[in-house]
Amino acid sequence: MLNCAETAAVLRNWDNILVLSHASPDGDTLGSACALMRGLLALGKRARFACADTIAPKYGYLFDGMPQEDFAPEHVMTVDVADLSLLGGLREQFEGRIELAVDHHGTHVPFAPQRWVEPHSAATTELVFLLLQELGVGPDRAIADCIYTGLTTDTGCFRYRSVTPRTHRIAAEVIEWGADAGEINRVMFESKSKAQVEAERIVLDGMEFFCGGKCAMVRVPRSVYETTGAADSDLDGVATLPRQIEGVVIGVTLKEKENGEVKASVRTNLPADSARLCARFGGGGHKGAAGCSFPGITMEKAAAQMTAACEDYLRELNLL
Ligand SMILES: [Mn+2]
């Protein structure tokens, strides 16, 4: 395991670097990749980006003005990727070629020979910021926007328990660099498309409670996207809704992906641990937020398995 200075030393020696984000990209993996690439470009290196899935338009500004050169990379690294499987469609192409991983997931399953993993970091962008400081990059306004985006999206606008004094210090620093905090938070948290509201309405209408109201579950079948015109990313925020209900300890959102695979997003309140629950299905993440998938089974079956697991887990915690 590397530390910040050692990771910086690795990057100092590299050129022609490909930075990979995880599939179904969020603000942290994209903010980390873009901040890092901007830093590498500023150091006179060549850097480019790849992700298995399309990037939601609301993240477009992260890439503004960044050249996307096509070159054969000499080095490949990942940001915010907890497990090789989370590379999605890029896994096959890059398995065995990834030399460096920078991540903050406690459930990180090592796949790169060199890695810097700090589970107590609220976002991977926290680590990228420290890395850029070590490399002598900044202050830079575009980098500041990328870092701030990762911090705020991975912490639900600085509300989660994962937030530390350091998270706020780094946020303060990048605001000094010129990050447009108010606008980024508006786009990420205060702005919804009509399709999104329509989809949320349908999904919330079907919310189910079990374990005496300690668990809440919503399902998002493909039909929701079809009837509302909502994109996958429009329903990112839905995962946080079940847990917001008083008395709910475990909130589960089941989404049917385009390929038919069912994915669960789990959000928990203390004392439950989302990552531990998802580990039962080979998934992972953080204490408050984690995910897992149910390949090859229907939404109905996935819901039944998840319900049984929640019940079992709550018993284990003596909450049932
Ligand atoms: Mn993250």
Q: Please write the tens of the pLDDT for every residue from 123-177.
A: 999 999 999 999 999 899 999 999 999 999 999 999 999 999 999 999 999 999 9
Q: What is the pLDDT of residue 138?
A: 87
In a shared domain, residues 48 and 150? yes
Cβ–Cβ < 8 Å for 125, 167: no
Q: What is the pLDDT of residue 41?
A: 97
Residue 114 has pLDDT above 90, yes or no: yes
Closest among 135, 149, 145 to 177, alpha carbons compared? 145
What DSSP line would sit under 151-214, residue for residue? Answer: HHHHTTTTTSTT--HHHHHHHHHHHHHT--HHHHHHHHHS---HHHHHHHHHHHHT-EEETTTT
**Gap from CA of 318 to ligand 1 centroid (Å):** 30
In a shared domain, residues 179 and 304? no
**Gap from CA of 89 to ligand 1 centroid (Å):** 19
Q: What is the pLDDT of residue 151?
A: 98
In a shared domain, residues 143 and 15? yes
In a shared domain, residues 173 and 226? no
Backbone angles phi, psi at 117, to 5 degrees: -120, 120
Give the domain extent around 116.
Answer: 4-189
Q: What is the pLDDT of residue 141?
A: 98
**Gap from CA of 181 to ligand 1 centroid (Å):** 18
In a shared domain, residues 156 and 272? no
Cβ–Cβ < 8 Å for 39, 129: no
**Gap from CA of 21 to ligand 1 centroid (Å):** 10
**Gap from CA of 153 to ligand 1 centroid (Å):** 9
* Beta-carbon neighbours within 5 Å of ion ligand 1: 28, 80, 124, 154
The domain boundary, picked from 163, 189, 215, lies at 189
- What percent of the chain has pLDDT above 90? 94
- Following CA atoms 39, 42, 46, 49 in sequence, which dihedral angle do they give, to the nearest 10 degrees? 40
Q: What is the pLDDT of residue 233?
A: 82
In a shared domain, residues 152 and 23? yes
Q: What is the pLDDT of residue 62?
A: 98
**Gap from CA of 92 to ligand 1 centroid (Å):** 22
**Gap from CA of 20 to ligand 1 centroid (Å):** 13
pTM: 0.92
Q: Indicate the number of domains in the chain.
A: 2
**Gap from CA of 23 to ligand 1 centroid (Å):** 12
In a shared domain, residues 184 and 297? no
In a shared domain, residues 264 and 134? no
Query: For the segment 227-272, what is each residue's pLDDT rounded down to a tens digit?
Result: 999 988 888 889 999 999 999 999 999 999 888 899 999 999 999 9
Query: For the segment 170-191, what is each residue's pLDDT rounded down to a tens digit?
Result: 999 999 999 999 999 999 999 9
**Gap from CA of 100 to ligand 1 centroid (Å):** 16
What is the domain-level CATH number for residue 203?
A: 3.10.310.30
The domain boundary, picked from 189, 222, 244, lies at 189
In a shared domain, residues 118 and 204? no
In a shared domain, residues 112 and 222? no
**Gap from CA of 150 to ligand 1 centroid (Å):** 7
Task: Please state, in angstroms and rounded to a whole number, the distance separating the CA atoms of residues 295 and 282.
Answer: 11
What is the domain-level CATH number for residue 155?
A: 3.90.1640.10
The domain boundary, picked from 141, 167, 189, lies at 189
Query: For the segment 19-67, what is each residue's pLDDT rounded down to a tens digit?
Result: 999 999 999 999 999 999 999 999 999 999 999 999 999 999 999 999 8
**Gap from CA of 27 to ligand 1 centroid (Å):** 8
**Gap from CA of 80 to ligand 1 centroid (Å):** 5
Q: What is the pLDDT of residue 21?
A: 98
Residue 69 has pLDDT above 90, yes or no: no
Tokens of 234: 């429009």
**Gap from CA of 302 to ligand 1 centroid (Å):** 25
**Gap from CA of 151 to ligand 1 centroid (Å):** 8
In a shared domain, residues 26 and 79? yes
End-to-end Cα separation, the chain, in angstroms: 40
In a shared domain, residues 180 and 244? no
- Following CA atoms 185, 187, 188, 191 in sequence, which dihedral angle do they give, to the nearest 10 degrees? 110
